[in-house]
Amino acid sequence: MIRTIITALLLCLMEFVVVLAASPMAKPSLVLRFLPADVREAAKDHPEPPMYKQMAAHILFGIFILSMLAGILYIGIDGVKSGCGFPALTGRFILMLYIMKAYDIIVQDQWLVLTVGYFKKLFPETADCAGWKDRGFNNKNQIIRIILYPFLSMLTAGLFILICR
């Protein structure tokens, strides 16, 4: 279980670094879709960075996605090798996803987006938007994911047990 927690925390740290580094270089439409609706509307005409910066951002996002897949593979293979059955392996994936979701809600949404105003600095034309004060700007999406995670974890655990045994 400790390996799952460490893996999830490492992925959270990597995501934090990638978000900070890649967001200023990414196409605004990519970054804006994770922000409140009125912010998206106010910044829709924000100029795009040069193509080489956009490519660098995509490479960073790609590295994170590959790392996420590697983390899932590591947790799944380690679980099967450790003798975890379906319930224990499902629990590992649920734990990893809920740690990452808690990080997403607390660090990215509440702290980075709303408290620190990191994205407000990237998109200064949005400074007066009410969305920067809306702490529940994506509650619906977060709740949907929180509800789906156990089912995705069961599916993933089942696939690992079928493939690795």
The tens digit of pLDDT for each residue in 90-108 reads 999 999 999 999 999 999 9
45 Cβ contact partners less than 8 Å away, ≥ 6 residues apart = none
Over residues 140-161, the mean pLDDT reads 95
What integer pLDDT is reported at residue 81 of this predicted model? 93
State how far the Cα of 110 lies from the Cα of 95, in Å rounded to an integer.
21
CA distance 17 to 5: 19
Give the pLDDT score at 15.
Answer: 94
pLDDT tens-digit map of 13-69 = 999 999 999 999 999 989 888 888 888 888 888 999 999 999 999 999 999 999 999
Q: What is the pLDDT of residue 138?
A: 83
d(CA 61, CA 45): 23
Of 157, 140, 165, which is closest to residue 97 (Cα–Cα)?
157
Strands (E), the chain: none
